[in-house]
Amino acid sequence: MSYCAHATFFHFMRTQLRKIALLAVRSFLIIGVASPWVSAATFELPPAESRIVRRIQQHEVAAGETLANIAKQYDIGFLSLMAANKGVDPFLPAEGYVLSIPSRLILPDTPRKGIVINLAELRLYYFEPEKNQVHVFPVGIGRIGRDTPEMITKISQKRPNPTWTPPNSIREEYREKGIELPQVVPAGPENPLGDYALRLAYGAGDYLIHGTNKDFGIGLRVSSGCIRMEPKDIEWLFEQVQRGEQVTIINEPIKVSLEPDRSVFVEAHEPLTRSDGSKKLLQIPVELKWWLQDADIPSAKAKAVIFAQNGVPVEITPPMIEF
């Protein structure tokens, strides 16, 4: 390429950068690549007839940050963040500027009791109805081929400083990699269970909610079927729960809420991949099917939200104003 052509191309790229980048981010959202949930959140529980929870948050822009990576930090949509901060340059926000973070999610369709894990979200909910609160944490779950099963069970054992006895199936996997695991891995920095473990009563008791000694895997499908939490998160949860506490594990990629003001929200996540590499078919919640039969519910918008699978609650019908 000649110098003049180079210069022309460079000038074109500079003048078109924001437009191209915006289109790229929109494409990112449309294809449904969900951003990871990177920090725990505590929300006030909504009334029983509502499933939307909110928390007002603010974020001070650090050097080099963009609205796109800030949106990923808080698990919110890029366009939602832009809408909440009109006039802010999405690619070069001023360092030190305080952004408003539109935090919102739909609670799973389960009783508000104990621990609820939604595999499709890679999130753990801990309900404290006596405090009118729900705590939300990121988790890692079973990898493809070692899927974490859906279940309703309870905590059968609390184990601080747990040892790890690798099952034969795991030992064989490691042997194939040339690694011979010890019969028992003692508590300490080499233990993959971390410092705390909650054993579930499901089956033979092989499934745990536990910490980790690794600096990755939270918000991913990487475990052998157990639920993996950040060390600080499992430490907090371990102190709150008791033996016998109910644990509900579901796989609910689409969540919906009909609010008291008659507005309808839909939140869609990418369905989990099966062992054979196929995606689990999306099951449309029956209540959403009923609502879509109403001529006032825009089915095209609901389908677009489900197709996008970006994990952000979207209002598909506005509140109904009564006179």
CATH topology (fold) of 115-250: L,D-transpeptidase catalytic domain-like (2.40.440)
Q: How many of the other CB atoms lie within 10 Å of CB of 102?
A: 20
* Residue 4 bears catalytic tag: no
Average pLDDT over the chain, rounded to an integer = 80
The pLDDT assigned to 82 comes to: 78
* Residue 210 bears catalytic tag: yes
Question: Could you tell me which of 284, 243, 240, 250 has the C-alpha nearest to residue 266?
Answer: 284
**Sign of torsion over alpha carbons 152, 155, 161, 162:** negative
Contact 103, 74 (CB under 8 A): yes
Among 110-114, 167-171, 255-259, 293-297, the least confident range = 293-297
pLDDT in tens, 208-225: 999 998 877 777 788 888
Contact 294, 322 (CB under 8 A): no
- Helical H runs in the chain? 3-30, 67-74, 78-84, 168-176, 231-240, 286-292, 299-308
CATH 3.10.350.10 boundaries in the chain = 53-105
Of 11, 59, 135, 210, the catalytic one is: 210
Per-residue CA distances from 32 to 27, 143, 149 (Å): 9, 20, 24
CATH 2.40.440.10 boundaries in the chain = 115-250
The pLDDT assigned to 77 comes to: 54
Question: Could you tell me which of 187, 230, 190, 189 has the C-alpha nearest to residue 209?
Answer: 230
Question: Could you tell me which of 245, 221, 244 has the C-alpha nearest to residue 120?
Answer: 221
Pick among 3.40.50.300, 3.10.350.10, 3.30.300.30, 3.40.630.30: CATH of 53-105 = 3.10.350.10
Of 59, 135, 226, 269, the catalytic one is: 226
Q: How many of the other CB atoms lie within 10 Å of CB of 107?
A: 22
- The overall pTM is greater than 0.75: no
* The two structure tokens encoding residue 217: 């895997």
* The two structure tokens encoding residue 309: 């699978």
pLDDT in tens, 73-87: 875 557 667 767 889
